[in-house]
C-alpha cells in the first residue's frame, strides 16, 4: 500500500529546517521575508526554541510566511513545549496560503497521514500539487504514489511516471519506479473525459493550478488557461502531453480577478473535454461561452454590427472580443473548432440577423474558417450589416 511506501522511502514526512548554507528558507522566499525570519532561524539553529518562537511570532504578525512555517515546525516537533499537531497545521496552513512551498508540503503530509486526526487525501493531493508547482523536491514523489495507487487521485500510471521522473533527481527511489509505471501506462484503459480540478492558489510568487485526470487516449493533450474576468489571457496558455505532471505555477497580473480551467484535447484537435472556468482569485462567474467577432477593416457596417452584438452578448454572460482583420468573405458566417461547440455555434447563429444553420460550419468543413482554438469559443465573421 502507498502508506507503507511513503513511510519506507526516506520517511517523506514534514519538511524541516534546511541546511545552514540554504539559510533555512525555500527558494521562492523573498529577500525581505528571509530577512524578517532570519533572527528566529538563528535562534532555532542554536536550539533556543523559546527565543525562536518569540522572534517568529513577531515576524509572523508582520506577515512573514517563513516565520509562520518556523512556528509550525516548533509546534509539530514539540520543541520547548508539548507537541501540538493542530497548532502546527494552522501555522503551516497560514504559510502555505501565502505560497510557502515547504509549508504546503507539510500541510499535504498532515492531511495525507491524518496527523491530527483529520485525513483528507483529496485535499492532500491539492497541497502536494501546489508544493510541487513551487519546487518542493519531495512533493512530486508523493503525487506519483497517489496517481500510481489511486489514493487521492485517479489511477493514472502515466502521470505517476511523470511525477516520479520529476522527483528522481532528489529521491533515488523515484527513479526505480519509473519503468514499471510506464509499462503499466502502456496497457492502461484510456478514456476521453475532462480533467478534474483540484484547486488554484494565488500567492505573491504566482498562481499555482492543480488538477487530476484518468489515462487519456494516445496523442491527447492538456490545455491549461488562466484569464481575467473579461476573458483576456492573464498568462500564456500552456499545452502539455496528457501524461505530464498535473500542476503548474503561472505568472499573472497581481490583484486582478482570475479564472482558470484545464481541457483535454484529442489528437486530431477536433474534440475537447473541459472542466469549465473556475475562480483562481476573487469570486467571479465563468462565462457562458467565448465569442470572437471579426470583420474586414473597411467594412463600416460590419464594425457597427460587431459593436452592437458585443454589447448584447456581454450582457448575456459571454466573453466577447471584436476585431478588424484582413481576409475576404462572401457572407457572414459562424465557425467553431471543437465538435462539442457545435450547439453553441448554432445558438449564436440563430440570434444573428438573417442567418440560419447553413451559415454554421467547423473550420474544416464549413464557411466560417479561422475558428478559435479555445474550447467553448465561437467565431463570427461579419460581412456588412444594417444601415445606420
For residues 23 and 376, which has the higher predicted lDDT (pLDDT)? 376
Cβ atoms of 68 and 36 within 8 Å: the answer is no
Summarised one tens digit per residue, pLDDT across range 343-354 is: 999 888 888 876
Q: Which residue has the higher pLDDT, 27 or 317?
A: 317
Give me the count of residues in the chain. Answer: 388
Domain 289-382 indexed as CATH 3.30.70:
yes
CB atoms within 10 A of CB 112: 26
Q: Residue 2 — pLDDT band, cuts 50, 70, 90?
A: very low
**DSSP state, 114?**
T
Joined together, the cell numbers standing for residue 350 give 440563430
- Residue 128 CA to residue 96 CA, distance in Å, equals 11
31-45 helix and 49-61 helix, angle to the nearest 10 degrees: 160
Give me the residues paired with residue 294 across strands.
323, 381
Quote helix, strand, coil % in the chain, to nearest 5.
Answer: 40, 20, 40
Task: Tell me: pLDDT of 253 over 50.
Answer: yes
Question: Assign residue 206 a region: left if phi > 0, alpha if psi is -120 to 50, beta otherwise?
Answer: left
Average pLDDT over residues 94-117: 93
Whether the pLDDT of residue 17 is over 60: the answer is: no
Task: Compute CA 268 distance to the chain's CA centroid, rounded to the nearest angstrom.
Answer: 24
Of the candidates 211, 205, 145, 210, the residue with the CA atom closest to the CA atom of residue 181: 145
Q: What is the Cα–Cα distance from 229 to 232, expressed in whole angstroms?
A: 7
pLDDT of amino acid 372: 52
Q: Predicted confidence band at 357 (pLDDT cuts at 50, 70, 90)?
A: low
Mean pLDDT (whole number) for 64-73 = 95
Reduced to 3 states (helix: H, G, I; strand: E, B; else coil), residue 285 is: coil
CATH of span 2-187 = 1.25.40.10
- Model confidence at 32, pLDDT cuts 50, 70, 90, reads low
Assign 3-class secondary structure to 144-211: HHHHHHCCCCCCCHHHHHHHHHHHCCCCHHHHHHHHHHHHHHHHCCCCCCCCEEEEEEEECCEEEEEE
Query: How confident is the model at residue 328, as a pLDDT?
Result: 65
Lowest-confidence region among 96-110, 153-167, 220-234, 319-333: 319-333
DSSP 354: T
pLDDT tens, position by position, 213-225: 999 999 999 999 9
CA 306 to CA 352: how far, in whole Å? 11
Phi then psi for residue 285, to 5 deg, are: -75, 150
Which fold is adopted by the domain 196-281?
Answer: Immunoglobulin-like (2.60.40)
Q: What residue ranges in the chain does DSSP mark as E strands? A: 196-203, 206-212, 221-228, 238-241, 247-250, 258-265, 272-274, 278-281, 289-295, 318-324, 333-336, 360-361, 377-382
pTM comes to 0.87
Above 80 in pLDDT, residue 276? yes
Given a cut of 90, whether residue 149 has pLDDT beyond it is yes
- Residue-averaged pLDDT of the chain: 87
In the structure, what pLDDT confidence band is assigned to residue 388 with cuts at 50, 70 and 90?
Answer: low
Residue 18 clears pLDDT 60, i.e. is over it: no
More confident residue, 26 or 102: 102
Give me the residue spans of the domains in the chain: 2-187, 196-281, 289-382
Amino acid at each position: 500500500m502507498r502508506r507503507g511506501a511513503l513511510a519506507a522511502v526516506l520517511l517523506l514526512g514534514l519538511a524541516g529546517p534546511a541546511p545552514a548554507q540554504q539559510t533555512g528558507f525555500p527558494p521562492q522566499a523573498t529577500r525581505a521575508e528571509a530577512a524578517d525570519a532570519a533572527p528566529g532561524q538563528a535562534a532555532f539553529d542554536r536550539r533556543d526554541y523559546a527565543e525562536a518562537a518569540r522572534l517568529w511570532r513577531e515576524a509572523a504578525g508582520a506577515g512573514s510566511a517563513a516565520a509562520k512555517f518556523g512556528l509550525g515546525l516548533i509546534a509539530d516537533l514539540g520543541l520547548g513545549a508539548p507537541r501540538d499537531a493542530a497548532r502546527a497545521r494552522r501555522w503551516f496552513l497560514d504559510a502555505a496560503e501565502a505560497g510557502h512551498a515547504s509549508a504546503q508540503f507539510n500541510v499535504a503530509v498532515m492531511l495525507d497521514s491524518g496527523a491530527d486526526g483529520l485525513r483528507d487525501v483529496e485535499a492532500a493531493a491539492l497541497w502536494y500539487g501546489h508544493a510541487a508547482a513551487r519546487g518542493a523536491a519531495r512533493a512530486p514523489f508523493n503525487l506519483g504514489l497517489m496517481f500510481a495507487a489511486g489514493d487521492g487521485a485517479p489511477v493514472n500510471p502515466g502521470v505517476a511516471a511523470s511525477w516520479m521522473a520529476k522527483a528522481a533527481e532528489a529521491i533515488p527511489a523515484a527513479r526505480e519506479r519509473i519503468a514499471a509505471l510506464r509499462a503499466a501506462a502502456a496497457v492502461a484503459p484510456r478514456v476521453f473525459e475532462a480533467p478534474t480540478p483540484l484547486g488554484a492558489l494565488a500567492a505573491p510568487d504566482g498562481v499555482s493550478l492543480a488538477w487530476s485526470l484518468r489515462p487519456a487516449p494516445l496523442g491527447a493533450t492538456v490545455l491549461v488557461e488562466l484569464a481575467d474576468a473579461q476573458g483576456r489571457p492573464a498568462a500564456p496558455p500552456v499545452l502539455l502531453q496528457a501524461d505530464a505532471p498535473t500542476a503548474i505555477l503561472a505568472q499573472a497580473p497581481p490583484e486582478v480577478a482570475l479564472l482558470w480551467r484545464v481541457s483535454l484535447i484529442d489528437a486530431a484537435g477536433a474534440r475537447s473535454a473541459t472542466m469549465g472556468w473556475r475562480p483562481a482569485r476573487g469570486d467571479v462567474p465563468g462565462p457562458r461561452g467565448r465569442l470572437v467577432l471579426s470583420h474586414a477593416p473597411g467594412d463600416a457596417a460590419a464594425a457597427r454590427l460587431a459593436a452592437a452584438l458585443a454589447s448584447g452578448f456581454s450582457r448575456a454572460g459571454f466573453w466577447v472580443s471584436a476585431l478588424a482583420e484582413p481576409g475576404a468573405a462572401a457572407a457572414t458566417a459562424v465557425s467553431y473548432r471543437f465538435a462539442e461547440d457545435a450547439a453553441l455555434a448554432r445558438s449564436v447563429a440563430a440570434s444573428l440577423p438573417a442567418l440560419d444553420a447553413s451559415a454554421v460550419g467547423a473550420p474544416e468543413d464549413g464557411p466560417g474558417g479561422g475558428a478559435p482554438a479555445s474550447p467553448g469559443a465561437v467565431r463570427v465573421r461579419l460581412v456588412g450589416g444594417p444601415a445606420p
